Amino acid sequence: MTDLSVEGDVRQSYDPPMEERVARLEEDMRDVKSVLSRLEPMIIRIDATLTATLPNLVTKAELAELRIDVTKEIGDVRTGLTKEITDVRTDLGQEIANVRTDLGREVADLRIDLGKEVEDLRTDLGQKITDLRTEMIARFADVPTKTYLWGILGALITAYGAGLAALAVIR
């Protein structure tokens, strides 16, 4: 209990349970003061951290403005990319058309050249066949025919038979 008396005048005495309650309250107040003395440095550190950090944090308005700026930038990039892609498609389409035209011309030129070469080969081959036919006719003119050869063979066989007959007579 405390050494201070709560009694003032002697008029009325305090209720004894009240003294116990006041004593417990005073004890609890000492605990609260102890806890507050430990919390005060923490609160000071938290306040210092917030004071140093809050000015650097972004406000909702700044965040909204940043969001608008980023959205606008993304839109600009999207528009630029779309234009670039369209330009590339146009350029590629033109290049493909040019390549098709060039290839068509080259194929047509090759067909013409091949046609000429095939015609030249036909002419050369026809001329060579004609020359070979003429040469073969000239060579075969000098070669005896089958009938002629059969006639010679008949004459030889007849002469051989006559020779054998003459030998048989002579013997």
Structural domain boundaries of the chain?
15-57, 58-170
**pTM of the entire structure?**
0.39
**107-157: pLDDT as tens digits:** 999 999 999 999 999 999 999 899 988 988 888 777 778 888 899 899 999
6 contacts 19 by C-beta, under 8 angstroms: yes
Q: Give the residue with greater pLDDT, 57 vs 48.
A: 48
Q: Give the residue with greater pLDDT, 87 vs 16.
A: 87
pLDDT at 147: 87
**Category of 149 on φ-ψ map: left (φ > 0), alpha (ψ -120 to 50) or beta:** alpha
21 contacts 13 by C-beta, under 8 angstroms: no
- Between 10-14, 98-102, 158-162, the lowest mean confidence (pLDDT) is in 10-14
* Tokens matching residue 151: 């006639």
Give the residue carrying structure tokens 């390549």: 99
